[in-house]
Amino acid sequence: MDDARRSAVLNTYRHLRLAMIVLVVVLGAAVLLQRRDAGCWQTSVSAYYFTSVHGVFIAALCAIGACLIVYKGSSDTEDAVLNLSGFLAFIVAMVPTTRETICGGPSIPAAYDVSPGVGNNVAAVLLTGVVAEGVRLGLAYKANPEQSLSGQAKVSLGVGWLIIVAGTVAFGFDRKQFLAHGHTVAAVTMFAGIVLVIVINALSAGKRDDAKLFVQLYRAVATIMGLALAVIVVIRLNVPGWEHVVIYVEVLLIAAFAVFWGIQTRELWGVVDRRELLQGKADPTGK
């Protein structure tokens, strides 16, 4: 690859990582502006779907989902998990959480019925997902007919397809339950996938003697996100009255997501993916 083409590829990867940080900042800014106007907090970031944050909430999640899908992981397992989390980000965007009382500030009218939009948009996402997966498989086969996925990647794909099929069945045959729980299940699964991606990055970086700091940072971020996710699930299921704690834990979770992409941007600044570092083919500083 000549220098100009390599520079274009590197810049594309850098910008994809940084874009996810920017999108988190945009969502955070919209929530803070709504908080200024309302003078109070909703109980979760997801609850801002029904406020003036509505457009940014959907746009940011869809853009993050697209970035996760487009971004090519350093291994086929990482790539499979990124694709699943990216797909679920669209579901999180299209299926709102159950509406709570709006504490103040501008909001979507209380009479607004989300179910027709959910039905149309989720169906569109599912159909597009099937087409996109078919195209991906076709392109992969055309590029290298004899290449096979690793065992871990096959398991990741299998689990991902089971999750999507289960969600599709619920969407088609139990729309009431899908509307009630689809957002939460998709969001928890999406972030669980991101935690797994960070663990994969820690394990991969651990194969290099000069990456001990990055390994520690990845482990710290994965631990913070995993604990935050567990706390959210426990509060939602078993601790009534603690609802407002959720938004603070969610902010920590989302901030850690952005920090991960910042760390990876720094580690992989001068390479297309980590395999180049493992093979000693590139200068990690990008010089």
Q: What is the pLDDT of residue 280?
A: 67
Q: What is the rounded CA–CA span in Å between residue 209 and residue 90?
A: 38
Average pLDDT, the chain: 92
Q: What is the rounded CA–CA span in Å between residue 191 and residue 65?
A: 12
CB 184 within 8 A of CB 226: no
Q: What is the rounded CA–CA span in Å between residue 269 and residue 9?
A: 11
The answer to whether position 130 is within a domain reads: yes
Whether 283 shows a pLDDT value over 60: the answer reads no
Tens of pLDDT, residues 197-227: 999 999 999 999 889 999 999 999 999 999 9
The answer to whether position 186 is within a domain reads: yes
The answer to whether position 108 is within a domain reads: no
CB 219 within 8 A of CB 202: yes
CA-wise closest residue to 44 among 114, 3, 102:
102
Retrieve residue 48's tokens: 């801002």
* Mean pLDDT of the region 10-24: 96
What is the secondary structure of 130-168 as a DSSP string?
HHHHHHHHHHHHHH-TT----HHHHHHHHHHHHHHHHHH
> Of the given ranges (120-124, 128-132, 140-144), which has the lowest mean pLDDT?
140-144
Q: What is the rounded CA–CA span in Å between residue 266 and residue 159?
A: 31
Q: What is the pLDDT of residue 284?
A: 44
Q: What is the pLDDT of residue 186?
A: 97
Q: What is the pTM of this model?
A: 0.93
> Of the given ranges (79-83, 145-149, 201-205), which has the lowest mean pLDDT?
145-149
* Mean pLDDT of the region 82-107: 95
Owner of token pair 């009255």: 241
Whether 285 shows a pLDDT value over 70: the answer reads no
The answer to whether position 193 is within a domain reads: yes
Tens of pLDDT, residues 21-38: 999 999 999 999 999 999
Q: What is the pLDDT of residue 218?
A: 98
Residues paired with residue 107 on neighbouring β-strands, in sequence order: 51
Count Cβ atoms within 10 A of the Cβ of residue 166 and give its class: 0-12 exposed, 13-18 middle, 19 or more buried: exposed
Whether 282 shows a pLDDT value over 80: the answer reads no
The answer to whether position 167 is within a domain reads: yes
Residue 1 — very low, low, confident or very high, per pLDDT cuts 50/70/90?
Answer: low
Domain that holds residue 169: 3-102+114-142+151-278
Q: What is the rounded CA–CA span in Å between residue 219 and residue 202?
A: 6
Write the single-letter amino acid at 22.
V
CA dihedral 22, 36, 179, 121 (to 10 degrees): -50
CA dihedral 124, 125, 127, 129 (to 10 degrees): 160
Q: What is the pLDDT of residue 287?
A: 44
> Of the given ranges (71-85, 174-188, 270-284), which has the lowest mean pLDDT?
270-284
Residue 241 — very low, low, confident or very high, per pLDDT cuts 50/70/90?
Answer: low
Q: What is the rounded CA–CA span in Å between residue 268 and residue 275?
A: 10
Q: What is the pLDDT of residue 77?
A: 94
Count Cβ atoms within 10 A of the Cβ of residue 101 and give its class: 0-12 exposed, 13-18 middle, 19 or more buried: exposed
Q: Which residue has the higher pLDDT, 113 or 236?
A: 113
> Of the given ranges (129-138, 178-187, 211-220), which has the lowest mean pLDDT?
129-138
* Mean pLDDT of the region 41-51: 95
| Residues across the chain | 287
The number of distinct structural domains making up the chain is 1
The answer to whether position 283 is within a domain reads: no
Residues paired with residue 51 on neighbouring β-strands, in sequence order: 107
Q: What is the pLDDT of residue 273?
A: 84
The answer to whether position 138 is within a domain reads: yes
* Mean pLDDT of the region 152-167: 94
Q: What is the pLDDT of residue 100?
A: 92
Q: What is the pLDDT of residue 143?
A: 76
The answer to whether position 287 is within a domain reads: no
